[in-house]
Amino acid sequence: MAPMYKHVIKPLFFKFGPEGVHDFMVAIGKFMGSFSLGRSFLAMIYGYRGPDISKTVDGVYYKTPILLSAGFDYNGNLTQVLPSLSFGGVEVGSITAQPCEGNPKPRLTRLPFSKSILVNKGLKNDGIEAVLARLAKKQKMKDFVIGLSFARTNNSKTCSTEAGIEDYLFSLRKAVEAGIGDYYTLNISCPNAFGGEAFSTPELLGKLMIEVDKVARTKPLYIKMPLTILDNVFMQLLGILDQHNVQGVIIGNLQKDYSTIDKRDPVPEKYRGGLSGKPCWTRSNELIAMTKKEYKDRFTIVGCGGVFSYEDAQIKFDLGADLIHLITGMIYEGPGLIKKICQGISRHPSSVGRAHHS
Ligand SMILES: Cc1cc2nc3c(=O)[nH]c(=O)nc-3n(C[C@H](O)[C@H](O)[C@H](O)COP(=O)(O)O)c2cc1C
């Protein structure tokens, strides 16, 4: 199936705009996930069926340690189909308190030589209430983890610190009340929203976390960290998080350093947005290693950025990641990638490590 994707399906998809292809894939995925024959058919091709590679992290059981990262299933449409593709979970979102239209199109650009997508989506999503209602209607798939990623609503009204904090809290409280989501993530590092990455300075992150601590919850909370950040500021952010009721960090979000773009990719003049895929690889690994070295097992570490193979995933595990999130690798390599990573893990189970956070 992998050659079929690489040589037939991908070249066809890449003739169309990335957002149209994405919407098409979500529609197919939603359809295939809606009936058991569709799910079984996909599982026959893409489902991992080897030795047990499950792990429990912060009390949450993951059948496989690979999750679909935030930004692909932003409205919670794919939770039925993703287990058939060997994913252990999905991070739905990022979801905002109010529905968001997103930034004007085009807001996704493929950079094939860089193995990347330039993302300027601007948090398009239906808003927390609609997404929770959708998830509540569906039967939850066994042993499939649903994370909920919250971001600040992308408009001028939420730009002030107080309004921004209230916006995150609204979504978090709604999810807690509904009892939906196995873990929560605060996305403090979306580069493409009104007012920028408002809560990725130590001072403002501290203010946000004081209020977040007041929301009673039983599920783990993770913070999606920025990648394009100085080492010392990143460490200051971790220092703040260390003082709060936070279980882990996802390292990390999109890369904003355009020098990571391969020169062969055309660079439109008015480039805006963050880079996914391989441009995230090195910085993500550096920050994972720094976090592990400095904080040992204090934080669960979710490795995210540029995973295109089992070997890539293994490097992140070796550096200290407990789980992996990915999107762009699946877009470039096809949906068979996740099964291949799981097979690789099953051949080297000890090096992935059993999570200490259970
Ligand atoms: C189309 C697209 C949309 C994204 N939207 C979000 C988002 O809403 N929230 C978020 O936390 N990350 C978002 N991301 C970032 C990814 O979750 C991930 O951090 C980044 O792409 C690096 O992983 P990758 O190299 O495996 O794609 C998005 C990425 C892509 C490609």
- Is the pLDDT at 243 greater than 60, yes or no? yes
CA of 25 to the centre of ligand 1 (A): 16
Band of pLDDT at residue 25, cut at 50, 70 and 90:
confident
Q: Indicate if ligand 1 lies below 6 Å from the C-beta of 336.
A: no
Q: Which residues, 6 or more positions from 29, have their beta carbon under 8 angstroms from its beta carbon? A: 77, 78, 81, 82
Report the sign of the C-alpha dihedral through residues 254, 282, 5, 341, in that order.
Answer: negative
Q: Domain limits of the chain?
A: 2-348
CA distance 330 to 42: 15
Substitution site in 131, 327, 330, 331 for ligand 1 pocket (most atoms within 8 Å of beta carbon):
327
Q: Is the pLDDT of residue 2 over 80?
A: no
CA 152 to the chain's CA centroid: 16
Q: What is the pLDDT of residue 309?
A: 97
Ligand 1 centroid to Cα of residue 37, in Å, is 30
- Answer yes or no: is the C-beta of 276 below 6 A from any ligand 1 atom: yes
Both tokens assigned to 150: 């919250």
Q: DSSP alpha helices (H): ranges in 34-160?
A: 36-46, 128-137
User: What's the mean per-residue pLDDT of the chain?
Assistant: 88
pLDDT tens-digit readout, 100-143: 877 777 788 889 999 999 988 778 889 999 999 999 998 787 88
* Ligand 1 contact via 280 beta carbon (within 6 Å): yes
Tokens 């930004």 sit at which residue? 71
What is the dotted CATH code of the domain comprising 2-348? 3.20.20.70
Q: Choose which residue among 91, 253, 272 to substitute to test ligand 1 binding: the one with the highest number of ligand atoms within 8 A of its C-beta.
A: 253
Is this structure's pTM higher than 0.85? yes
- Angle at which helix 202-213 crosses helix 161-178, to 10 degrees, equals 40
pLDDT higher than 80, residue 201: yes
Percentage of residues in the chain having pLDDT higher than 70: 90
- Ligand 1: does its nearest atom lie under 6 Å from the Cβ of 305? yes
pLDDT over 90 at 209, yes or no: yes
In this structure, of 209-223, 250-264, 272-286, 343-357, the range with the lowest mean pLDDT score is: 343-357
Cα(120) to centroid(ligand 1), Å: 10
Instruction: Quickly list DSSP for 198-250.
Output: TT-SHHHHHHHHHHHHTS--SS-EEEEE-SSS-HHHHHHHHHHHHTSS--EEE
d(CA 15, CA 114): 17
Terminal Cα distance for the chain, rounded: 36
Does any ligand 1 atom lie closer than 6 A to the CB of residue 39? no
Cβ–Cβ under 8 Å, residues 192 and 122: yes
Instruction: Report the separation in Å between the CA atom of 121 and the middle of ligand 1, taken as the mean of its atom positions.
Output: 10
pLDDT at 21: 78
| pLDDT over 80 (residue 252) | yes
The C-alpha atoms of residue 29 and residue 78 are separated, in whole angstroms, by: 6
